Structure 1
Amino acid sequence: MKQRIVTGVIGGAVFVLMTVLGGWYYYGLLLLLAITGFGEYARMNGLRWHHPASLIGFAGMFVVLIPWDALGLAQPNAIHTLWLLLFLLLTITVFTKNDMTIDGAALLLLGALYVGYGFHAMFEVRNADSHGLLMSCAAFGAIWASDIGAYFVGRTIGKHKLWPSISPNKTIEGSLGGVVLSMAVAVMFSFAAPDAIHLDKALMIGLVAAVAGQLGDLIQSAYKRVRGIKDTGAILPGHGGVLDRCDSWLVVFPLLVMTGLVPLS
């Protein structure tokens, strides 16, 4: 527990500092997390980082992650990029004589999109023309509030299992507690900056952060069960890997961007 607390405090302080600084400081941290996270993903699927298929997956993840607009460059066509990544990965199945199967190629395509766009969306929100820091703090605050609410409400009054075959400790009561606290925290940001976050939008941000964040956690739990592992990695002592800690973020931020709940301009 002591190790977990120390890691959490140090890691949290570094993350908060980079988020406040924003710009390329924040992007550098997200890039490091993305590289580590995709490495964990490849390893979960039985591949070393230097396997040709892993390297193509890393390249695809980078293309998705790069902030083209911030660099003043034209955004590559999304469909063209995904198709080229698909083609290159399928080519590996030929050259390895099916040592890398089509199933493995599909998993790496999935991972490149999952990790790459998840972290890209975080940078988009922080780098938004209007209230980027505030919106990032509101989103992270709502996500963390959901985790805290689900944990303490679940431990206190949780009786009905939410999804025991995937995550046996989670309860319906805890899940609902997470939703309520997440929405409450988002509303607090609305009260603090009503011109930037209207009340109705704050409620929706809290709802999306809680529901999608909990689903992101369950998705990662389900995948780890399939692979028969407890943690995606060990880079964060007491906390596991990057994907263990960022599973909610990778789902919530893309949805906040796609729904327009967090405006980018």
Structure 2
Amino acid sequence: MLKHRFITALILLPIVISAVFLSSTLCFAIVTLVICLLAAWEWGRLAGLTVFSQRIGLIIFFSIFLISLLLNFLTDQSSIHFLPFGFSLLIWLSLGWWIIALILVLTYPNSAVFWQHSSFLRIIFGILTIIPFFCGMLALRQYAYEQDHKIGIVWLFYLMLLVWGADSGAYIFGKRFGKHQLAPKISPGKTWEGLIGGLLVSTLISLLFAYYFPLGITYQKLFICSVISVFASILGDLTESMFKRQVRIKDSGYLIPGHGGILDRIDSLTAAVPVFACFMLFIF
């Protein structure tokens, strides 16, 4: 399993880097849209949609919503504080959703009483997870594009490295030193030692990035954004794990060998991207 994960990561990493750095705005947006639609298909399983036609209906809804957002975004890339079709509102709403998700995670399994029998509620949770992620990805990628094509690209790549570093650090430190479980009722494999290790690795990445690739923001603000985003990424991971545990599945899908589904790979980013975008673009 570990061998498959490593081989798949080696294949996917150049693709991701190319999509972020080398692709045009339209190509990047389309790739992000496809990823979100695949994630929405997998979310149908988490929402308890067992009938094929129901999941097709969910995909049609997401397709209309995301394509409408994309078309409006492409017509106005100049403004980041007044994004068309409610981009800003959706990114702000994501903060509220992740606060609610934190409460659901902290009180699980008791919290499941309120949503486990409602596919509608779980679909709403999926909308609040996937749509703001799409908005945040495009908003970060295109930030200040008219002034400098590279600023948003570097921000987005920094965030990805930060989340991947935290995830890898948590895995390595957790395997080596993990003794105290972080969320035993949701994900028994995660430990507090792993969390500390992930924070140490992400802090190192933040320091190196701030020194070699200045992001146009003071390090104090960058550090605050980074720490909050790392905690958000952990919450995103735990939230998906909570929904998977409730429907008794290990992976959200089987698209990526050794890694599970699309949601399994972007669960951390679904929370980190809109939270980072909100702080970097609107608060700071």
* Equivalent residue, structure 1, for 2:99: none
Q: How does 1:78-89 map to 2 (within 5 A)?
A: none
Task: Identify the range of structure 1 (224-233 vs 23-32) with the bigger mean alpha-carbon deviation.
Answer: 23-32
- Distance in 2 (CA, whole Å) between partners of 1:36 and 1:48 is 17
Residue 152 of structure 1, CA deviation: 1.3
Residue 25 of structure 1, CA deviation: 2.0
2:199 corresponds to which of 149, 164, 179: 179
Residue 53 of structure 1, CA deviation: 4.5
Q: Deviation digits for residues 63-96 of structure 1, max 9, x if unmatched? A: 67526233239823588xx9xxxxxxxxxxxxxx
Letter in 2 for 1:46: L
* Equivalent residue, structure 2, for 1:76: 85
Letter in 2 for 1:142: L
- Distance in 2 (CA, whole Å) between partners of 1:65 and 1:183 is 34
- Distance in 1 (CA, whole Å) between partners of 2:178 and 2:120 is 41
**In structure 2, do the counterparts of structure 1 residues 213 and 34 end up closer, same or farther at CA, with 3 Å as the change threshold?**
same
Residue 4 of structure 1, CA deviation: 2.0
- Distance in 1 (CA, whole Å) between partners of 2:240 and 2:207 is 28
* Equivalent residue, structure 2, for 1:86: none
Residue 103 of structure 1, CA deviation: 2.6
Residue 7 of structure 1, CA deviation: 1.4
- Distance in 2 (CA, whole Å) between partners of 1:70 and 1:264 is 24
- Distance in 1 (CA, whole Å) between partners of 2:31 and 2:52 is 20
Gapped regions of structure 2 (runs ≥ 5): 78-82, 94-116
Residue 184 of structure 1, CA deviation: 1.8
Q: Is the 1:232–1:240 Cα contact (8 Å) retained in structure 2? A: yes
Residue 105 of structure 1, CA deviation: 2.5
What RMSD, in angstroms, separates the aligned Cα atoms of the two structures?
A: 2.7
1:26 corresponds to which of 3, 25, 28: 28
Letter in 1 for 2:70: I
Tell me the TM-score normalized by structure 1. Answer: 0.82
Letter in 2 for 1:13: P
Task: Identify the range of structure 1 (204-213 vs 220-229) with the bigger mean alpha-carbon deviation.
Answer: 204-213
**In structure 2, do the counterparts of structure 1 residues 202 and 46 end up closer, same or farther at CA, with 3 Å as the change threshold?**
same
Letter in 1 for 2:133: G
**In structure 2, do the counterparts of structure 1 residues 71 and 223 end up closer, same or farther at CA, with 3 Å as the change threshold?**
same
Residue 57 of structure 1, CA deviation: 3.5
SS at match of 1:257: helix
* Equivalent residue, structure 2, for 1:234: 254
* Equivalent residue, structure 2, for 1:92: none
**In structure 2, do the counterparts of structure 1 residues 222 and 61 end up closer, same or farther at CA, with 3 Å as the change threshold?**
farther
Tell me the TM-score normalized by structure 2. Answer: 0.77
* Equivalent residue, structure 2, for 1:41: 43
Q: Deviation digits for residues 15-61 of structure 1, max 9, x if unmatched? A: 11111124122112111111100001113322445437525542464
1:108 corresponds to which of 117, 120, 123: 123
Letter in 2 for 1:220: E
Q: Deviation digits for residues 168-193 of structure 1, max 9, x if unmatched? A: 11111110111121122112111113
Q: Is the 2:253–2:260 Cα contact (8 Å) retained in structure 1? A: yes
Larger Cα-atom Rg: 1
Q: Is the 1:42–1:48 Cα contact (8 Å) retained in structure 2? A: no
Gapped regions of structure 1 (runs ≥ 5): 83-101
**In structure 2, do the counterparts of structure 1 residues 106 and 195 end up closer, same or farther at CA, with 3 Å as the change threshold?**
closer
Q: Is the 1:65–1:116 Cα contact (8 Å) retained in structure 2? A: no
Task: Identify the range of structure 1 (174-183 vs 192-201) with the bigger mean alpha-carbon deviation.
Answer: 192-201
Which one scores higher on RCO, CA 8 angstroms, separation ≥ 6?
2
2:186 corresponds to which of 159, 166, 178: 166
Q: How does 1:1-265 map to 2 (within 5 A)?
A: 1-22=2-23, 23-44=25-46, 45-48=48-51, 50-51=53-54, 53-55=57-59, 57-59=61-63, 61-62=65-66, 65-66=69-70, 68-72=72-76, 75-76=84-85, 103-129=118-144, 131-194=151-214, 196-259=216-279, 261-262=280-281
- Distance in 1 (CA, whole Å) between partners of 2:51 and 2:120 is 14
- Distance in 1 (CA, whole Å) between partners of 2:68 and 2:234 is 24
* Percent sequence identity over aligned pairs: 27
Q: Deviation digits for residues 154-207 of structure 1, max 9, x if unmatched? A: 122221111111111111111011112112211211111336242112312320
- Distance in 1 (CA, whole Å) between partners of 2:244 and 2:215 is 42
